[in-house]
Structure 1
């Protein structure tokens, strides 16, 4: 078991190595939709690529989620399989968001032998989600 400082150091090293292997600018928070973002997540049990819809207005949050849900067949047939769609996802802090994600279980950032597997997973899945988003962003944005 690592100390908090050791764990933070390994995590920093992990992200630096990921950026070196795949040096590109990701969309992430630059979606042009308020509180709609793409995220990477890794801990010592899994790696995830996520779309988080965190709009404070529940109606708008659900409207964006339902836009993505309407595109689910295209998304899964042409871009990425095994996505989990959750309209009401509760974060640890109690906040309810909408979340769509794909995950790889049995990997962790503290095991350097997993890094290339995680990096490739992150690249493949996030790249697919971004390509999908860039193709359908105008449709997704048009909720009003």
Structure 2
């Protein structure tokens, strides 16, 4: 078990190593859609590449999710064949968001021997997710176009 300080240092070292291994600017929060963001997540059991849809306006959240969901076949056949879609995903805080993600298990941020595997997973899947988003961005962003 690691102390709080050691765990923080491991996280810091992990993200620095990732940035050095894959020095590029990721889309992440720059989707130009309020409260629609791409995220990397890793803990001591899994790594995930996420698209979180979390507008406070429930109707907007529903519309954005439905738009991406309507492109599910394209996303899974051409970009991320193992994508998971969840319309109502409950965060630990109790907040409900919509989430689309891919996941890799059997790795750990605390095990430096798995870092390269995590980095490659992040790079490959976030790149695919971003390409999908850019290809379909106009449709996803436009709330006037119904699904």
Q: TM-score, normalised by structure 1?
A: 0.99
1:14 alignment partner in structure 2: 14
- Extract unaligned runs of 5+ from structure 2: none
Deviation readout 1:98-125 (Å, 9 max, x if unpaired): 0001000111111000000000000000
Residue 47 of structure 1 pairs with residue 47 of structure 2: yes
Task: Report the alpha carbon displacement of residue 139 of structure 1 after superposing the two structures with TM.
Answer: 0.4
2:132 alignment partner in structure 1: 132
Q: Aligned partners of 1:108 and 1:49: how far apart in 2?
A: 15
Q: Aligned partners of 1:140 and 1:84: how far apart in 2?
A: 18
Deviation readout 1:26-48 (Å, 9 max, x if unpaired): 00000000000000000000000
Deviation readout 1:54-107 (Å, 9 max, x if unpaired): 100011001000000000000111111111100000100010000001000111
After superposition, the CA RMSD in angstroms is 0.5
1:116 match: secondary structure: helix
Task: Report the alpha carbon displacement of residue 15 of structure 1 after superposing the two structures with TM.
Answer: 0.3
Q: Aligned partners of 1:63 and 1:33: how far apart in 2?
A: 12
1:60 alignment partner in structure 2: 60
Give aligned pairs, total: 144
Q: Aligned partners of 1:3 and 1:59: how far apart in 2?
A: 43
1:132 match: secondary structure: helix
Q: TM-score, normalised by structure 2?
A: 0.97
Deviating 4+ runs (over 2 angstroms): none
